[in-house]
Chains A and B, each alone.
Chain A
Amino acid sequence: MNLKFELNDSIKARLKLREGEKIYYSIPVDIDDDGNWTDDSFLVVTTLRVFTFISGKETFYEIKELQKALAEAGVGGGILVLRKDGEDMLVAHYSSKHLSRYAYIARGINILISGRYEEVISTEYEKICPHCGRVIPGTKTCPKCSGNGGFFKILKKTVAPYRKDLVYISFLMVSVAVTTLLNPEVQKRLINNVLKINGSYKTALVYLALMFVLSVAIVVINILKSIATAKLGSKISADLRRDLFEKCQKLPLSFINERRPGELLNRITDDTRFVSEFCADVFCNLFAVFFIFVWDVIFMLVLDWKLALLTFSVVPFVTFFMFYLRKTISRVFRVQNKKNDDVASDLQDVISGMRIVKSYGKEEIEADRFKVLSGEFAEIQKRNERFWGMFDFVLSFCMGIGVVIVVYFGGRSVLDLKMSAGELYQFISYTLLLFQYVGWLGRVPRELSKLKSSLERIYDVLSQEAPEEDPALVQEVDIKGEIRFDHATFGYKSYQPVLEDINAVIKPGEMIGIVGASGTGKSTLINLLMRLYETDDGSILVDGVEMKNISRKSYHSQLGVVLQETFLFSGTITDNIRFSKPDASEAEIIRAAKLANAHTFISKLPDGYNTYVGEKGHSLSGGERQRIAIARAILTDPKILILDEATASLDTESEYMIQKALDRLTYNKTTFAIAHRLSTLKNADRIMVIDDHRIAEFGTHEELLAKKGIFYDLCMAQNLD
């Protein structure tokens, strides 16, 4: 994301920098003091000052006089606030377009305030292309502006491995073309040589046989072609899907979170499907259609160039008309689809909320509402069907006009004996072919650009550099378990920090209970410890080594995790326990299960440790799943343990069993445990209370109780249950 926009000349002229003062950031302010759009206003941050140039008005703040910069998000926009002498100053007002940009700027100013001179760089992508103003579909560069060269290179790269299939299919295509073009020729001869007053029955049979063979050939070749293209298509999409999936697994979670939900899923399913469809349908046909088209035109010109030119002159009108019709059709059907979605989602809403609807006795109101919606849909559908009914006729009429012209002028030539009846017939056949393929070719540019954006989106993921660890920089460590948070700051969205300035030192083997209201950042803290994300600012040190300098493999092999939502993969219980340590022996698995208090219930299952669980398998209770997760964590004998609400929403008995299992698990290991029920934290050495994105309280039970702060209140409230 661009944080350094080009300033216009008048601002450049007014910006008088002091000696050694450097411009760090310059970004637009798009709302002026009256709340109207403006396009000539800017905010400039230098190493010493923050300037604003808003509708000709210039203000500046000395960074050394500031205490804090804040980018506050509102509805549809936000404001930049600078705190000076304890007073909040409104500095700039901007629309949502610049929300993230200002969050980076605020972070940048805060770094300058703290006396450091690092420049903040944003790796986020722009949403709108700065050159052409088009939306960038989640890719790094704008597909339109990145240029055709790149696209064809990508296309070539995509289809290169399938060269053999493509050659085979192209060969079949040409065969289709040849047989298609040959058919009218044979028919012409049949008419000219046989269907005349003294034509012989025998020659007629020969021609008919020839036509029969040709027809059979067309069918056979088409079937072969369909099989081959379908095979190729599925091969390409399977390969692309696999590549994409592999890449997604390797990419950091932040890459996945930066994208809209479902977008990646779409790339894996829809975009790959489109590419395969394109390769199978368009790319392969393209060759054949061009071939037919060119020869079709040549044949027509040879047969009767005047008539051919006359026919061609109709083509632009017909194509234009067809194009227009198609556009209208796609528009009206889009409206219908949208209404259809409305009806479907409303129906789903009411049906899934049936208990509520019935218990409040609102059936009639809902029925009436649905009637209106459904009526609207029916109206649109009626209109569209009428339109659709006409479409085919209108289309054939258009083609018909071409044929009428040909028949009229050609017929006159036949009557004048300038042309044979067979030739006229052949000419008409070619005319029909021409119209058929003109329509098809008209679709190609559209399909090409659709393909282009699909390919761009796919290659945006594939070309991402997954953070490969440099073996020279990272080290293998034998973790003892000391964890130190050093000014750690992090947010999922650049403009919304979830954790701010976390500082704490945790001794090896200590158990830390983490409490706080929901949404304050507890789980985020744990995500950072699990290394799913990296801190935006500051760092986390393990045994004095910065986390990012420890090899991922070595870190994760010494980390155990039990989460609230226990996820069991489809597979057996053994598979699920073994997930953390694929080479664990049966004996090890049993030992882990015993320690997790899972052995007893597993032995009672008819299939024992081979019981199939997961989405389609044996359904285990919440407590049982939890204990399998604990066994999974025990198996690796982790040095750092993370428990996120591991005992929430379980019945008392299983909670007791799990608590026992957890006690064994956490013994002598650095443990972070999130819990709402404070009773589960009675073994914790210290409690960390997170509130408002920061550590609000940190200390032992007794210390925090004596403090009578948030923790005290929580304890008291829960004792009263």
Chain B
Amino acid sequence: MAEDTLNIYEKKAEEMTATNMITKEYRFSKTKGGFLSLEFEGSTYPRIRVVRLFPFSDENKYLSIREYGNGDKEIGIIEDLSLMSEDTQKLISEQLKLYYFTPVINKILSIKDEYGYAYFHVKTDKGECRFAINMGANAVTKLSDTRLIIKDVDENRFEIKDIDELTSKERRMLDLFL
């Protein structure tokens, strides 16, 4: 009996290390409720989750496709979304939008600091908005010399893709956080 279990465990461990690449044969389709289902070689997953493995450095590469529930087990990995069919690309991008919300700041209208908090008024690719960050905490993360992620007090994330593209006035406002 123990022998069997050993085999089960070996198998489980093997499974965990194995990487299953998702290819064009996998069929993704949109569910009635607005999520994705997946069909492949007879297995059907009524709802799947898409996870970015490198959300900052490669947002459209190495996407982990996982079951919904059942321990969120990984079904496979899409190595490069741009190599998938156009339909799949569209479907996956839609799901990513639901799970990753990071507005990109295009223009800084104003930054006001007051007693430990800084108040931003910005234009983003998702529209104009205002948010506040805690200056004491590490609210600004530098992904590279020119790329920033700003976390506000609610843990929303905002991205500045390239600070060199900001005007000198905007940069001066940002200076405090760099």
List CB contacts (< 8 Å) of B72-102 with chain A. Answer: 97-102
The reply to whether A716 and B2 contact each other, CB–CB distance below 8 Å, is yes
Does A621 count as interface, using CB distance less than 8 angstroms?
Answer: no
Measured CA separation A137–B132 after assembly (Å):
12
Task: Give chain B residues whose Cβ lies under 8 Å from the Cβ of A450.
Answer: 115
The reply to whether A90 and B102 contact each other, CB–CB distance below 8 Å, is no
The reply to whether B101 and A74 contact each other, CB–CB distance below 8 Å, is yes
The reply to whether B9 and A35 contact each other, CB–CB distance below 8 Å, is no
The reply to whether B114 and A76 contact each other, CB–CB distance below 8 Å, is no
What are the interface flags for A580-595 relative to B under an 8 Å C-beta threshold, 1 for contact and 0 otherwise?
Answer: 0000000000000000
Task: Give chain B residues whose Cβ lies under 8 Å from the Cβ of A712.
Answer: 5
The reply to whether A76 and B34 contact each other, CB–CB distance below 8 Å, is no
Q: How far is the CB of B91 from chain A (nearest CB, A)?
A: 13
The reply to whether A87 and B101 contact each other, CB–CB distance below 8 Å, is no
Task: Give chain B residues whose Cβ lies under 8 Å from the Cβ of A134.
Answer: 114, 117, 119, 132
B6: nearest chain-A partner, CB-CB: A720
The reply to whether A97 and B132 contact each other, CB–CB distance below 8 Å, is no
List CB contacts (< 8 Å) of A90-108 with chain B. Answer: 90, 93, 95-97, 99
Does B107 count as interface, using CB distance less than 8 angstroms?
Answer: no
* Interchain CB contact (< 8 A) of B100 among A75, A127, A335, A692: A75
The reply to whether A75 and B102 contact each other, CB–CB distance below 8 Å, is yes
* Interchain CB contact (< 8 A) of A713 among B5, B99, B157: B5
Q: How far is the CB of B88 from chain A (nearest CB, A)?
A: 19
Task: Give chain A residues whose Cβ lies under 8 Å from the Cβ of B102.
Answer: 75-76
* Interchain CB contact (< 8 A) of A77 among B127, B128, B156: B156
Query: Would A75 and B99 be within 8 Å (CB), given that A89-B34, A717-B9 are in contact?
Result: yes
* Interchain CB contact (< 8 A) of A453 among B68, B115, B178: B115
List CB contacts (< 8 Å) of B1-19 with chain A. Answer: 1-2, 5-6, 8-9
Q: How far is the CB of B68 from chain A (nearest CB, A)?
A: 8
Query: Would A96 and B156 be within 8 Å (CB), given that A37-B129, A89-B34, A719-B2 are in contact?
Result: yes
The reply to whether B34 and A75 contact each other, CB–CB distance below 8 Å, is no
Does A166 count as interface, using CB distance less than 8 angstroms?
Answer: no
* Interchain CB contact (< 8 A) of B34 among A90, A128, A720: A90
Measured CA separation A686–B116 after assembly (Å):
53
A263: nearest chain-B partner, CB-CB: B136
B177: nearest chain-A partner, CB-CB: A338
Q: How far is the CB of B27 from chain A (nearest CB, A)?
A: 19
The reply to whether B8 and A90 contact each other, CB–CB distance below 8 Å, is no
Query: Would A74 and B100 be within 8 Å (CB), given that A37-B127, A88-B31, A133-B130 are in contact?
Result: yes
A31: nearest chain-B partner, CB-CB: B101
The reply to whether B154 and A713 contact each other, CB–CB distance below 8 Å, is no
Task: Give chain B residues whose Cβ lies under 8 Å from the Cβ of A81.
Answer: 33
The reply to whether A76 and B100 contact each other, CB–CB distance below 8 Å, is yes
* Interchain CB contact (< 8 A) of A35 among B34, B101, B117, B156: B101
Q: How far is the CB of A545 from chain B (nearest CB, A)?
A: 36
Task: Give chain B residues whose Cβ lies under 8 Å from the Cβ of A369.
Answer: none
* Interchain CB contact (< 8 A) of A97 among B99, B116, B134, B154: B154
Measured CA separation A35–B98 after assembly (Å):
8
What are the interface flags for A3-31 relative to B under an 8 Å C-beta threshold, 1 for contact and 0 otherwise?
Answer: 00000000000000000000000000001
The reply to whether A76 and B119 contact each other, CB–CB distance below 8 Å, is no
* Interchain CB contact (< 8 A) of B153 among A88, A128, A335: A128
Task: Give chain A residues whose Cβ lies under 8 Å from the Cβ of B33.
Answer: 81, 84, 87-90
The reply to whether B156 and A97 contact each other, CB–CB distance below 8 Å, is yes
Measured CA separation A137–B117 after assembly (Å):
9
Task: Give chain B residues whose Cβ lies under 8 Å from the Cβ of A37.
Answer: 103, 124, 126-129
Task: Give chain A residues whose Cβ lies under 8 Å from the Cβ of B62.
Answer: none
* Interchain CB contact (< 8 A) of A335 among B68, B128, B175: B175
Task: Give chain B residues whose Cβ lies under 8 Å from the Cβ of A334.
Answer: 176
Task: Give chain A residues whose Cβ lies under 8 Å from the Cβ of B155.
Answer: 76, 96, 99
What are the interface flags for B111-126 relative to A under an 8 Å C-beta threshold, 1 for contact and 0 otherwise?
Answer: 0001111010000101
Does A79 count as interface, using CB distance less than 8 angstroms?
Answer: yes
Does A135 count as interface, using CB distance less than 8 angstroms?
Answer: yes
What are the interface flags for A111-155 relative to B under an 8 Å C-beta threshold, 1 for contact and 0 otherwise?
Answer: 000000000000000011000011101000000000000000000
Counting chain B CB atoms within 10 Å of each CB, which of A84, A87, A135 scores highest? A135
What are the interface flags for A693-720 relative to B under an 8 Å C-beta threshold, 1 for contact and 0 otherwise?
Answer: 0000000000000000000110011011
Task: Give chain B residues whose Cβ lies under 8 Å from the Cβ of A719.
Answer: 2
The reply to whether B115 and A93 contact each other, CB–CB distance below 8 Å, is no
Measured CA separation A531–B175 after assembly (Å):
48
The reply to whether B32 and A87 contact each other, CB–CB distance below 8 Å, is yes
Task: Give chain B residues whose Cβ lies under 8 Å from the Cβ of A449.
Answer: 115
Task: Give chain A residues whose Cβ lies under 8 Å from the Cβ of B137.
Answer: 260
Measured CA separation A134–B133 after assembly (Å):
10
Q: How far is the CB of B71 from chain A (nearest CB, A)?
A: 7
A81: nearest chain-B partner, CB-CB: B33
Measured CA separation A565–B5 after assembly (Å):
33
Q: How far is the CB of A169 from chain B (nearest CB, A)?
A: 28
A-B contact pairs, 28 of them (CB 8 A): A31-B126, A35-B101, A38-B127, A74-B100, A75-B102, A75-B157, A76-B155, A76-B157, A77-B101, A77-B156, A88-B33, A90-B98, A95-B156, A96-B152, A96-B154, A96-B155, A96-B156, A128-B132, A128-B154, A133-B132, A134-B119, A135-B117, A137-B116, A335-B175, A335-B176, A716-B9, A720-B2, A720-B9
Inter-chain pairs besides A96-B156, A128-B154, A720-B2, 5 sampled, C-beta below 8 Å:
A37-B129, A75-B157, A76-B101, A334-B176, A713-B9
A-B pairs, 8 with minimum CB distance:
A716-B5, A90-B34, A77-B101, A74-B99, A89-B33, A37-B127, A76-B101, A97-B154
CB within 8 Å of B: which residues of A? Answer: 31, 35-38, 74-77, 79, 81, 84, 87-90, 93, 95-97, 99, 127-128, 133-135, 137, 260, 331, 334-335, 449-450, 453, 692, 712-713, 716-717, 719-720
